[in-house]
Amino acid sequence: MANYQLIWNLHGIHYKDKAVNFLQRFEDSLCVFSGAVSQVYANYNIWPITADNSKLLVLPNPNAHHDIFQSIDSDAVVSTGLYILPGEVVGKKGLFLSHKSRLNGKLKVTPLAQGLEKVAAKTDTPFLPVITNKDLKELNRKSPILHLHRLLPERLESHSQFDVRTICGTIEEKMHKYLACA
């Protein structure tokens, strides 16, 4: 079965080149989940496959089998309501984490590293962000934003504790390595 979820369609995005460049910034820091084959990819590349950048191929590294995690049930990956956005959206440099306020529905924005630390501190289990097909979006037809999903390790019931620790450690290591350089 072909993994159609590895082809990301950007037809609804107006500034495709900008969106592709934004998404490629996260190749080394975020893992990709494909529900079609129940896999998480920790080592992959993103390639435009059309001249107008309307379709991207998210291709796992075929030489890094140890960075492909199998049998990840879709119910173990949940939406967070958190978005990564470029600083230009808020008139600043860098990357930011945003979510809608429960009180007034307005967008709350925090520098990315600080925001991820706050989110991780509020949870009882590790905060393990992953991205999926359709997570790349556009805000106000101007700036790309990236929705985050989260892998819940307690829902990896068919995996051994060793495998769960390996999956969690890989996702955390990628994220922390990136944040240390940010």
pLDDT in tens, 40-75: 999 999 999 999 999 999 999 988 889 999 999 999
182 band by pLDDT with thresholds 50, 70 and 90: low
CA angle 41, 44, 46 (to 5 degrees): 125
Distances (CA, A) of 21 to 2, 24, 26, 46, 136: 26, 5, 9, 10, 11
Rounded to whole angstroms, how far apart are CA atoms 149 and 91? 26
Rounded to whole angstroms, how far apart are CA atoms 114 and 132? 23
Domain ranges of the chain: 4-181
Beta-sheet pairing, 31-34 with 129-131: parallel
pLDDT reading at 3 higher than 70: no
Distances (CA, A) of 150 to 83, 115, 172: 12, 15, 12
- 134 dihedral zone (left: phi>0; alpha: psi -120 to 50; beta): left
pLDDT at 96: 94
Q: What proportion of the chain, given as a percentage, has pLDDT over 70?
A: 95
Rounded to whole angstroms, how far apart are CA atoms 170 and 165? 8
Rounded to whole angstroms, how far apart are CA atoms 7 and 161? 32
What are the φ and ψ backbone dihedral angles of 128, each rounded to 5 degrees?
-120, 85
pLDDT at 1: 42
164 band by pLDDT with thresholds 50, 70 and 90: very high
